[in-house]
Structure formats: C-alpha cells, structure tokens
Amino acid sequence: MYGWCGRIGLMVPTGNTTMESEFFRLCPEGVSVHANRVYLKDVTPESLREMNEDAVRSAEGLVSTRPGVLAFGCTSGSFVGGKGYDEGLIRRIEDAACLPATTTTTAVLRALRLLKVRRIALATPYTEEINALEVKFLEDHGFEVTRAKGGGLVDTSDIQECEPQVAYCRAREVDDDRAEAVFISCTGFRTIEILETLEADLGKPVISANQATFADCLRILGVAEVKPGFGSLFKRVMDAAGVREKNLDRPALVRA
C-alpha cells in the first residue's frame, strides 16, 4: 500500500509541473503524494483570486485518496488577499473536506517563525505587482524584507521552464548582509536541488516554497524522517516543532 506512513493530498495550479515532481523527490519511504488541479489562468491578482474559488472542489476530489493532510500548493494564491487570506482558505478547505490543511504561505510563515528569522531577502519569478503584494503580506506578519527581486513572469508555463540555476542566481542577487535568510517564492519555481549549495555559499538558511510546504505536511502527518540533501529547513523545523520519530519500518508483506 502506497502512503502507509502518511498521504499528502496536494492541490496544485493548472500548468504547475514543478511542485509534484519536487514533492515526489522529497518523499521519505512510506509517504505518498496524490494531486488534484486548481484552475489558474495566469499569475495576476485577478486570476489568483478566481483560482481560490476552485479550491473546495479540488479538496473534495482528494478526500477519496484518504490523505492525512491537504496542501494548497500556491504561494501567491495564498497571500494575494492580504493578511489572514491563507487562514481563511484553510478554514474553507477543512470545512469542506473534514481534514487538516495547510497552504504554502502558511507553511512559509511557520518555518520563518520557528527558525526565529525576521529579516529576509525575497527571490521570485513574479511581476513587480505580485512581489509588492508578497512584501506587504510578509511585513504585515512582522517580517522585514531587505531586498526583493522577481522575473516578471505571468504565464505559469514560463515559470515551470526556469532551470534551477535561475532561482540560484536570483537568490544570490537579493541576498545582503542584513538578511538572516533567503526565501525563494513560488511552487512552480524549481529549487530543491540548489538549496544546499545556496546555504553553503551564503552561510544562512535558504527556504523555498515547495520545501516549506512539504515540511509542514510532514509536521502535520507526524513524520520526522526526511531525505538528506535538500537544505537545512527540514531538520530545523522538525526539531523546533518537537515532532517525534515515527516508525518507518517497512510493513510486513501480506501473502495471498
């Protein structure tokens, strides 16, 4: 049985081909990911708000996979409405599906707080309009954004086609001495293979949208085992949250 240790129900925007792939690579043994789409035309404030109207349908479609957590996998889609928008989205999903839920933005905020990080540099593929909304969202939650830079992309397909080195270079561009950490935003922005290199080069934590979302899903599932090689966030978040090791031994085979 796949997901015998825990199952993640993932709501991912149409056109996003990165988040599922990165989640599959991050999965420890016994954890499985099962995805459903949420319609997103393009990365504009209007389309992001419209996308969230489809979230309940997407969540309800995942219930039959019997997940232990539902994750709304879109950073901009969970901060576009300002402070508290992510919390309202979680309530709608949980009420509809009767399952615990998180969003990418919620997961990022939790990770930053657990790491006791207050000053961050922000790297994104977004337009300046979306970046400004994200900076305000983070500042309204008590964080200082020391620098922010986007790529001006609106079409979700264009974001997926960015190679990992694009995220690496943008993170290096925005980093400065005042930033305590670097946050790479957007679940469609490919990042996980460059996180450890960035942390070594910058000498500070580097958080990505998919990494933070996956870590929060593991926290909710109560799974403390993670694969090595994808940045320091996983161990730091698990240690800070006091998550206990879960039995990850293989289940006994049942013979017919």
For the chain, the structural domain boundaries read 6-241
Query: pLDDT at position 235, please?
Result: 76
Q: Which amino acid is at 90?
A: I
Q: Which amino acid is at 143?
A: F
Residue 256's SS3 state is coil
Right CATH for 6-241 from 3.60.15.10, 1.10.260.40, 1.20.1260.10, 3.40.50.12500: 3.40.50.12500
Cα 165 to Cα 190, 195, 229: the distances in Å are 9, 11, 17
Per-residue pLDDT 10s for the chain (256 aa) are 899 999 999 999 999 999 999 999 999 999 999 999 999 999 999 999 999 889 999 999 999 999 999 999 999 999 999 999 999 999 999 999 999 999 999 999 999 998 899 999 999 999 999 999 999 999 999 999 999 999 999 999 999 999 999 999 999 999 999 999 999 999 999 999 999 999 999 999 999 999 999 999 999 998 878 888 899 998 776 676 565 544 444 443 333 3
Show Cβ contacts of residue 121 under 8 Å, excluding neighbours closer than 6 positions: 145, 146, 147, 148, 171, 174, 175, 176, 179, 181, 182, 183
Comparing CA positions, the residue from 128, 146, 113, 143 lying closest to residue 212 is 113
> CA 204, CA 141: separation in Å to the nearest integer?
21
**Which residues share a beta bridge with 72?**
11, 103
* Half-sphere CA count of 36, side-chain side, radius 13 A: 20
Cα 52 to Cα 17, 35, 40, 73: the distances in Å are 19, 16, 9, 11
